[in-house]
Amino acid sequence: MRVKCPECDGDIPIPDDAVPGEIVPCPDCGSEFEVYLKDEGGVELKPVEIEGEDWGE
Ligand SMILES: [Zn+2]
């Protein structure tokens, strides 16, 4: 299964056994997305928000 990348419109391959919450990277732009399974079937991708980034400075 393939889903359009929300960032670059490229094709992101989704494993058949993908589970909700799984992180998939876009091979084209390198963005990472979280897999959501839609109730009506199919897969939706949501950008992974990196919050509270702390570099330990
Ligand atoms: Zn992309």
CATH number at residue 8: 2.20.28
pLDDT confidence bin for 57, thresholds 50/70/90: confident
Q: Give domain status of residue 53, yes or no.
A: no
pLDDT, position 35: 94
Q: Mind listing the pLDDT tens digit for each residue in 12-49?
A: 999 888 899 999 999 999 999 999 988 898 889 999 87
CA 42–ligand 1 middle distance (angstroms): 19
The span from the CA of 19 to the CA of 35, in Å, is 7
pLDDT confidence bin for 50, thresholds 50/70/90: low
pLDDT, position 1: 86
Q: Give domain status of residue 52, yes or no.
A: no
Please indicate whether residue 1 or residue 28 has the higher confidence score (pLDDT): 28
Number of domains in the chain: 1
Find the length of the chain: 57
The amino acid sitting at 52 is G
Q: Give domain status of residue 18, yes or no.
A: yes
CB 41 within 8 A of CB 24: no
Q: Give domain status of residue 11, yes or no.
A: yes
Q: Which domain holds residue 10?
A: 2-47
Q: Give domain status of residue 8, yes or no.
A: yes
CA 28–ligand 1 middle distance (angstroms): 5
CA 56–ligand 1 middle distance (angstroms): 29
